[in-house]
Amino acid sequence: MQTKSYLDYKSIIAELVEAVVSGDGINRENIYGLLEYPPDSDLGDLALPCFKLSKVLRKAPQLIAAELEGKIEPAPYFTEVKATGPYLNFRLAPVPLVQEVLGQIIKLGAEYGGRTIGRGQNIVIDYSAPNIAKPFHVGHLSSTVIGNSLFKIYSFLGYNCVGINHLGDWGTQFGKLITAYKKWGSAAEVKKGLIKELMRLYVKFHTEAETDPALEEEAREWFRKIEEGDEEALSLWKWFKDISLEEFQRVYDLLEITFQSWAGESFYNDQIDAVVDELNAKGLLTESEGATIVNLDAYDMPPCLILKKDGSSLYATRDIAAALYRKKTYQFVKALYVTGIAQTLHFQQWFKVIELMGYQWAKDLVHIPFGLVSLKGEKLSTRKGRVVLLEELLTTAIQKTQAIIDEKNPGLEKKEEVARMVGVGAVVFGALSVNRIKDVTFSWEEALNFEGETGPYLQYTHARACSILRKAGFSTDEDLVFDPEKLAEPVTLKVIKTLYLFPEKVMAAAAEYEPSIISRYLIDLAQDFNGFYHGCQVLVDDPDLQRARLILVFAVKTVLATGLGLLGIKAPEQM
């Protein structure tokens, strides 16, 4: 339920309805939960479906709606309260709506839609987490941009967020890489080709290993050496890691993403023994074919692997160690993990282990999966070299934007900066525009499409609003008083109703861990605004009308910029 800092029609209605019905378990909260925005606004702006009430009151929903119609006084917030079949429909009174919504945006500016509900609470967000010595490819884009957006959304709600890049910098793949480097690589080639060369070596290892299984053994041996702290093995590992980090950093710079912690998997090496001891002391460990596991039969899951035959740790072991460390270090109220859906079982398993260890806070661990990214209908695969590099995608998008600007607006100030904001914005919005669980097929065409419902369309709408304000000499330094009666046309009210929804959408995006709620909302807002812009001239002779319309433009510009910011997208003032 929303707190009261914003005009909240749902709680107004819940209060009105509660006052006139009484029944078992009917209260303000659950009435609030029943309220809907009718798909067809001809019927009303908000509706109470009476089906659930009908069960409690033992009366037909139509009858309940009809009775409520007579008992509820619409003024001052509504112009009409009317029963239509089983629904009680409410129509908003324009003046208080316009006054309140625009008043709030004027007062709060970039803070409109934000809250303080998270004050004093920490949320840890584990996202991006590419693997060392593997390319940073489009498969990691979703984790990176969803995590970053959740970081911004929760921060906007007042939480103190900690972004952690749990780098994949440990595991047998490093043994493979060293083996391949020793056999087919050279320092000079690696210095020249960097990650591309590391990837070539990694791919080569896998093709060769198909016919020469002894290579796998050799790779295990090298990884064992890394774990034992062998000097040569460790220094190669460190070198490969530095090369990777340098490339990753270039991508993060383009996206303007930063992390509070870079503790990757290797960071937990010296905490593994303690984890194993604790699991053992709690009687959770069993042996299975030489490996050490936590049996999860009772929960219909395969066992969680803790130690391999040779005593080395696994992905899950390091995740358990990391969770204990994070709880101790950050006292989180929630720990979020943003990864592909393929890892769902992994998270279910080790979350269960934490619960079995007796930690209440196991319920605060949340896996946030996203759908598969494929390429021309095939799974991305580092081993097979079937990847699209994120850096290449971003720089291509920037170049394309540059070319469009050169053609359409060659005199634009700060051309390069704008090209970067828009090119990157297109890619980021593309990744955040659909429900995160949906599988996506990467296509260059779509990623670089700036028409229709895209990031550049939103940025362009924002820039257009800025340009109207500039032309009118609009300034927020003046007293922003206006006559709400001037904003009563349907196209205008439509925009204001959409602006009203923003705080609610931010809350929903947080509750569902779903940035696409904000993306879709922004598209609606931009479309409503463009409807207004085409229907109503802003710069007109009547100074009061112009003033009111300018304030609306200002409000839209403000919310577009805030919303784009929550997605991790910049909003240039000119483009």
Contact call for residue 131 and ligand ARG (CB under 6 A): yes
Q: Between residues 339 and 519, which has the closer beta carbon with respect to ligand ARG?
A: 339
Minimum separation from the CB atom of position 261 to ligand ARG (A)? 12
Question: Between 197 and 319, whose beta carbon lies closer to ligand ARG?
Answer: 319
Binding flags for ligand ARG, 324-343, as an x/- string (CB under 6 A): -------------x-x----
CB 255, CB 424: distance < 8 Å: yes
Q: 272-280 contacts: CB < 8 A, separation 24 or more?
A: 272/313, 272/317, 272/318, 272/321, 274/321, 275/306, 275/317, 275/320, 275/321, 275/324, 276/306, 276/307, 276/317, 278/357, 279/306, 279/353, 279/357
Q: Based on the shown chain and the rule CB under 6 A, indicate whether residue 129 belongs to the binding site for ligand ARG.
A: yes
C-alpha distances in Å from residue 431, one per residue of 124, 145, 163, 385, 567: 22, 7, 19, 22, 10
Between 337 and 521, whose beta carbon lies closer to ligand ARG? 337
Q: Which is nearer to ligand ARG, 61 or 168 (CB)?
A: 168
CB of 265 to ligand ARG, least distance (A): 8
Q: At its nearest, how many Å lie between ligand ARG and the CB of residue 489?
A: 50
Is the Cβ–Cβ distance between 112 and 502 less than 8 Å? yes
State the nearest-atom distance from the C-beta of 176 to ligand ARG, in Å. 16
State in angstroms the smallest separation of the CB of 163 from ligand ARG.
12
Between CA 506 and CA 516, with CA 511 as vertex, the angle to 5 degrees is 55
Enclosing H/E stretch for 181: helix 173-184
Q: Are strands 373-375 and 160-164 parallel, antiparallel or unpaired?
A: unpaired
CB of 136 to ligand ARG, least distance (A): 10
Looking at beta carbons only, is 126 or 528 nearer to ligand ARG?
Answer: 126
Under the binding rule (CB under 6 A), the answer on residue 225 touching ligand ARG is no
DSSP secondary structure string for all residues of 272-321 = HHHHHHHHHHTT-EEEETTEEEE--GGGT-PPEEEE-TTS-B-HHHHHHH
Q: Smallest gap, in angstroms, from Cβ of residue 4 to ligand ARG?
A: 38
Of 8, 45, 218, 319, the residue at the interface with ligand ARG (CB under 6 A) is 319
Rounded CA separation 140/557 (Å):
31
Nearest to residue 400, comparing CAs of 363, 359, 366, 450? 450
Beta carbon nearer to ligand ARG, 268 or 457: 268
Order the strands of the 285-288 sheet from edge to edge. Answer: 285-288, 291-294, 304-307
Kindly state whether residue 247 participates in binding ligand ARG, applying the rule CB under 6 A: no
Residue 320 and residue 292 in contact, taking contact as beta carbons nearer than 8 Å: no
C-beta closer to ligand ARG: residue 255 or 448: 255
Smallest distance, Å, CB 185 to ligand ARG? 23
C-alpha dist (Å) from residue 547 to 99, 156, 419, 479, 529? 14, 30, 32, 11, 17
Residues 368/340, Cβ–Cβ less than 8 Å = no
Contact 432, 567 (CB under 8 A): yes
Cβ nearer to ligand ARG, comparing 116 with 249: 249
Interface segment toward ligand ARG; rule CB under 6 A; list 126-134, 435-443, 445-453, 505-513: 126-134
The amino acid at residue 233 is A
Q: Does 168 bind ligand ARG (CB under 6 A)?
A: yes
Asked whether 538 and 472 are in contact (CB, 8 A), the reply is yes
Binding ligand ARG (rule: CB under 6 A), the pick from 10, 115, 137, 166 is: 166
Q: How far is the CB of 318 from ligand ARG (least distance, A)?
A: 8
Give the Cα separation of 443 and 266 in Å (integer): 35
Q: Rounded to an integer, what distance in angstroms lies between the CA atom of residue 278 and that of residue 321? A: 11
CB of 344 to ligand ARG, least distance (A): 12
Stretch that binds ligand ARG, among 123-131, 233-241, 530-538, 548-556 (CB under 6 A): 123-131
Among 8, 45, 126, 247, the residue binding ligand ARG under the rule CB under 6 A is 126
Q: Whole-angstrom Cα distance, residue 571 to residue 568? A: 10
Region of 125-133, 213-221, 397-405, 411-419 interacting with ligand ARG (CB under 6 A): 125-133
* Closer CB to ligand ARG, 340 or 385, in the complex: 340
Whether the CB-CB separation of 525 and 560 falls below 8 Å is answered with: yes
Q: Which is nearer to ligand ARG, 44 or 168 (CB)?
A: 168
Identify which range of 2-10, 24-32, 124-132, 146-154 contacts ligand ARG by CB under 6 A. 124-132
Q: Which residue, chain included where needed, has tokens 């207004």?
A: 532
Total binding residues toward ligand ARG, as defined by CB under 6 A: 8
Residue nearest to ligand ARG (CB): 168
Write out the residues near ligand ARG by the rule CB under 6 A: 126, 129, 131, 166, 168, 319, 337, 339
